[in-house]
Amino acid sequence: MKSSDQQNSLVHFRFGFVLLLTLVVMALDVRSKFLSDFRYYVESALYPVLVFADSPHSVGKMMSTQFKSHSELIKENEQLSTENFMQRANTLRLKDLEDENQALRKLLNSPVRQNIKRLFAEVVDVDPDPYLSRVTVNRGTSSDVYEGMPVITDKGLVGQVMEANYSFSRVLLLTDPNCQIPVIDSRSSVRAICIGSGSHAEIIINNVPRTADIKEGDMLLTSGIGGVYPKGYPVAIVTSVGISDSQPFAAIKARPLVETDKMRYVLMFGTSSDTPDAEEYALQAKQMTDDKTILHQKKVKDLIDTLSVKKNDKNRNAEKNEDKKSNVGGTND
């Protein structure tokens, strides 16, 4: 009896120790970034387990592609090539529009957008913690993924990178209650902030006055304010606008355009580290918040540019004059 009692008391002691350890580990993990290195390395080492857990889905997909008939493949190929042709045509126009936009932005003294690096990634089909709305994608710091990197699909915005490990990263979905995205109504240009509701089919827009011009069916785009998400990407469509006299704000709900539970491929956006202007671009997010300073800086820069151009012109003119004189001298001789 004594030995079993001792064992029991030891069990209590051991559980107490484990409980204490849990609280310490949790506090260190959540409140400080003390364990982030540990997490980074161990999670990177656990990546094969995630790939193994994803294998039923990937094997199923492989099998379904293997058993596609010849006619189906030809049909799909034709459809894709048509789509590709149309998109190439659109891209030609896009290039022209980009140049025009850049020229117009220069005229308005607005900062010109730099090259953005896009990274194709595949969703690793494993379920995260049920309390969190996140997905795992198969690109990590080895592919220059960083925390805060915006993620999109062909339909719209998905969210941003929350945690980047060596070979995979976790993306915080726009439906997570911790995710807040600055948006703009494409019809009326009303600005708002949308917050995830925890449900994959709904996001909420709080703190919008009842008089704001937001209607059912409006498209919400990213406004680019805050500097995390690039401007102009579709986020959601307004599904309901609840206005009651007793409440100061309208209760607006919207449906995200991306079906986050079904998506398989995503695009990750980032500033390219290869371009020399990367640092300049990184600074622009902060600068954009203060229009006056940026206008001032831009004016100074333009002034310097014009002066230097004038100097160059003067130099060129002087060179030309010299050339002319020499030519004239040459002919006289």
Partner 1 sequence: MISGKDNRNSFLLLLVPMLFIGLILQIIHLPEVVSLNRPDFLTLIILFFSVYSNFSLKIEISWLVGILLDLATGAPLGINALIISAQIYLITTQFKNFYKYKLWQQIIIVGIINFLVTILCYWIEHIIGRSYYEINFLIPSVSTAVFWPIVYWICLILCSTFSVASDEKENLD
Task: State the residues that interact with partner 1 by CB under 8 A.
Answer: 7-8, 11-12, 14-15, 18-19, 21-23, 25-26, 28-30, 35, 39, 42-43, 46, 49-50, 52-54, 56-57, 125-132, 134, 136, 162-163, 170, 177-178, 197-200, 261
Which of residues 54 and 144 has its CB atom nearest to partner 1 in the complex?
54
Question: H/E element holding 306?
Answer: helix 291-332
Quote the least distance from Cβ 110 to partner 1, whole Å: 37
- Residue 117 near residue 270 (C-beta atoms within 8 A): yes
Which of residues 189 and 199 has its CB atom nearest to partner 1 in the complex?
199
The neighbour count for residue 141, using CB atoms within 10 Å, is 16
Quote the least distance from Cβ 106 to partner 1, whole Å: 43
- For 224, left (φ over 0), alpha (ψ -120 to 50), or beta? left
Quote the least distance from Cβ 21 to partner 1, whole Å: 8
Q: Could you give the CA distance from residue 200 to residue 174 in angstroms, rounded to a whole number?
A: 9
- State the helix-helix crossing angle for 291-332 and 278-287, rounded to 10 degrees: 140
Which of residues 135 and 250 has its CB atom nearest to partner 1 in the complex?
135
**How far is residue 31 CA from its own chain's centroid?**
25
The neighbour count for residue 312, using CB atoms within 10 Å, is 10
Nearest Cα neighbor of 181 from 152, 154, 155 is 152
Which of residues 198 and 224 has its CB atom nearest to partner 1 in the complex?
198
Quote the least distance from Cβ 113 to partner 1, whole Å: 32
Which of residues 35 and 278 has its CB atom nearest to partner 1 in the complex?
35
Quote the least distance from Cβ 144 to partner 1, whole Å: 21
Nearest Cα neighbor of 193 from 211, 214, 172 is 214
User: Position of tokens 């469509």?
Assistant: 237
User: Position of tokens 């030609």?
Assistant: 92
Which of residues 185 and 253 has its CB atom nearest to partner 1 in the complex?
253
Quote the least distance from Cβ 205 to partner 1, whole Å: 17
